[in-house]
């Protein structure tokens, strides 16, 4: 069934439900042209819109997926994930599911970024932590780095796929299994998505002559979500109420284990600052508040785009950092819900083919110098041990904002989207000081603003941005 055939069926379903495009758009809180692009095949409804769309059409969310995407491939449910825990904890089948049903999800404590940094500083020491300042506002992040990993500017990245089989988690301790049960109980209540998507696992990294070189293998998001990512949940609880970080003592007991990326499951991503020139003579910087439906940095401030470094369907071809940045721009800001693999496996041969690009992305890639993508720094986040390749994405043509500023919209991963001007130093200082930041987001923001100040000319009226390692 062709793409346009599916969208014709979407239009037929709308008419059968008695809605015009205008009426359906009003019910969903979107513009009529948005509905028109769904039916024409240019864009797909974002995941957070689909339940409301299903109600308006009088069908299920799965049926909406069939109208828009074709046959729906089911993502792993909690039953599958509970089986994963049983197998690795040595439990009899059904034990994890029973415990998930019995254990109340509880409420995740509200703990600010600074308190997390303080707890991690007490555990590891503060010597390698990345610090930053802007106009008298000083902050410390939980990201650690080596000398020469920061302030890369126009640094290039060269990655290769390491030989060897896909990484898989072996035995899980009783402590780890207990935290996995709590993660699944909380996901059951919050609706957080945990899918078996492939991720790149960092095997080795180095920086020299402005070039980031890395070697990666393959891992699974489920393996990460039910092991290393649980470190953040334990950290939050200990920072709020005290106690001992037993899981951290198992998985990341010291800085040596943090930097030994080849000896552990080290996944990560590319948090990037997106800065767009505006006709008024400034850059607008976008900041998101993360949705509670995401596993990573839920409820915290982050730069956008922010995505895990992993392949779509070309394991070797997608290994470069730029591939992840471009994909996340399409998914998170330009309405390309169909690129998102969280609903199942990728069925398109070339998801980022020019013919499938959104109109904003097609414009950005259609002329020289319209889109500038840089790697500004490399770090390892003590929160979960992830690698962070901070990025900067600059659109230097004000025409882009004039044409597409009204079309930029965050997807389901964000609960809100905020704009900051590079000519508003006071707002930017207050933003840096906001305790709701995720540490990797603040790390990327500091490096991105420092670089933007270097290259932005009179469009950037900010005090000096200093970024370095703590003493």
What tens digit of pLDDT does each residue of 228-240 get? 999 999 999 999 9
Residue 456, pLDDT above cutoff 80: yes
Mean pLDDT across the chain, nearest whole number? 87
In the chain, the domains with their CATH numbers are 3-69 (1.10.260.40), 78-111+161-263 (no CATH), 268-469 (3.90.79.10)
Q: What is the pLDDT of residues 36-68, one digit of tens each?
A: 888 887 777 876 677 788 878 887 776 777 777
More confident residue, 85 or 166: 85
Helix (H) or strand (E) holding 3: helix 3-16
Weakest mean pLDDT among 108-112, 198-202, 274-278: 108-112
Residue-level pLDDT at 103: 83
Kindly report whether the peptide bond that precedes residue 42 is cis, defined as omega within 30 degrees of 0.
no
Q: Which of 231, 302, 232 is nearest to 271 (CA)?
A: 302
**Looking at residue 2, what is its pLDDT?**
36
User: Is the predicted pLDDT of residue 345 greater than 60, yes or no?
Assistant: no
Dist. CA 248–CA 305, nearest whole Å: 28
Q: How confident is the model at residue 5 (pLDDT cuts 50, 70, 90)?
A: very low
Is the confidence at residue 367, as pLDDT, over 70? Answer: yes
Q: What is the pLDDT of residues 137-173, one digit of tens each?
A: 999 999 999 989 999 876 667 888 887 767 888 899 9
Contact criterion met (CB below 8 Å) for 214 and 84:
no
Q: Indicate whether 1 pLDDT > 50.
A: no
Question: How many CB atoms lie under 10 A from the CB of residue 128?
Answer: 19
**Total-model pTM:** 0.82
* Pairing mode of beta strands 129-134, 150-161: unpaired
- Mean pLDDT confidence for 110-128: 91
Which of 315, 297, 335 has its CA nearest to residue 444? 297
Going by their DSSP bridges, the two strands 211-220 and 150-161 should be labelled as parallel
């Amino acid at each position: 069934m062709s793409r346009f055939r599916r969208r014709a069926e979407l239009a037929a379903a709308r008419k059968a439900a008695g809605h015009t495009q205008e009426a359906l758009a009003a019910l969903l809180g979107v513009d009529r042209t948005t509905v028109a692009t769904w039916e024409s095949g240019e864009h797909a409804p974002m995941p957070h819109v689909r339940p409301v769309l299903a109600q308006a059409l009088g069908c299920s969310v799965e049926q909406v997926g069939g109208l828009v995407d074709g046959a729906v491939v089911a993502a792993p449910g909690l039953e599958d994930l509970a089986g994963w825990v049983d197998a690795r904890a040595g439990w009899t089948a059904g034990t994890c599911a029973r415990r998930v049903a019995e254990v109340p999800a509880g409420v995740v404590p509200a703990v600010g970024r600074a308190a997390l940094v303080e707890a991690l500083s007490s555990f590891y020491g503060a010597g390698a932590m990345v610090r930053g300042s802007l106009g008298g506002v000083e902050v410390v992040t939980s990201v650690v780095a080596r000398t020469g990993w920061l302030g890369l500017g126009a640094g290039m990245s060269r990655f290769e796929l390491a030989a060897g089989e896909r990484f898989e988690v072996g035995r899980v301790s009783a402590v780890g299994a207990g935290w996995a049960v709590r993660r699944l109980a909380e996901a059951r209540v919050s609706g957080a998505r945990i899918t078996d998507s492939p991720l790149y696992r960092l095997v080795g990294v180095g920086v020299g002559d402005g070039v980031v070189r890395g070697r990666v293998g393959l891992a699974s998001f489920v393996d990460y979500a039910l092991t290393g990512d649980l470190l953040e949940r334990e950290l939050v609880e200990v920072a709020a109420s005290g106690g001992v970080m037993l899981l951290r003592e198992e998985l990341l007991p010291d800085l040596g284990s943090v930097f030994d990326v080849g000896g552990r499951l080290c996944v990560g991503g590319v948090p990037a600052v997106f800065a767009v020139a505006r006709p008024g003579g400034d850059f607008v910087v976008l900041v998101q508040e993360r949705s509670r439906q995401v596993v990573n940095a839920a409820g915290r401030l982050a730069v956008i785009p922010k995505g895990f470094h992993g392949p779509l369907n070309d394991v070797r071809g997608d290994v470069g950092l730029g591939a992840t940045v471009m994909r996340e721009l399409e998914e998170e800001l330009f309405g390309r819900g169909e690129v998102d693999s969280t609903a199942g496996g990728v069925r398109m041969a070339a998801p980022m083919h020019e013919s499938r690009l959104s109109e904003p992305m097609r414009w950005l890639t259609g002329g020289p110098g319209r889109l500038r993508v840089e790697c500004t720094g490399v770090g390892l986040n003590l929160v979960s041990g992830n690698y962070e390749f901070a990025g900067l994405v600059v659109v230097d043509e004000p025409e882009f904002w004039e044409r597409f500023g009204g079309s930029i919209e965050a997807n389901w991963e964000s609960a809100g989207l905020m704009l900051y001007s590079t000519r508003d130093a006071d707002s930017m200082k207050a933003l840096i000081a906001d305790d709701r930041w995720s540490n990797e987001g603040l790390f990327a923001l500091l490096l991105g603003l420092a670089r933007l100040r270097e290259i932005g000319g009179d469009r950037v009226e900010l005090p000096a941005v200093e970024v370095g390692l703590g003493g």
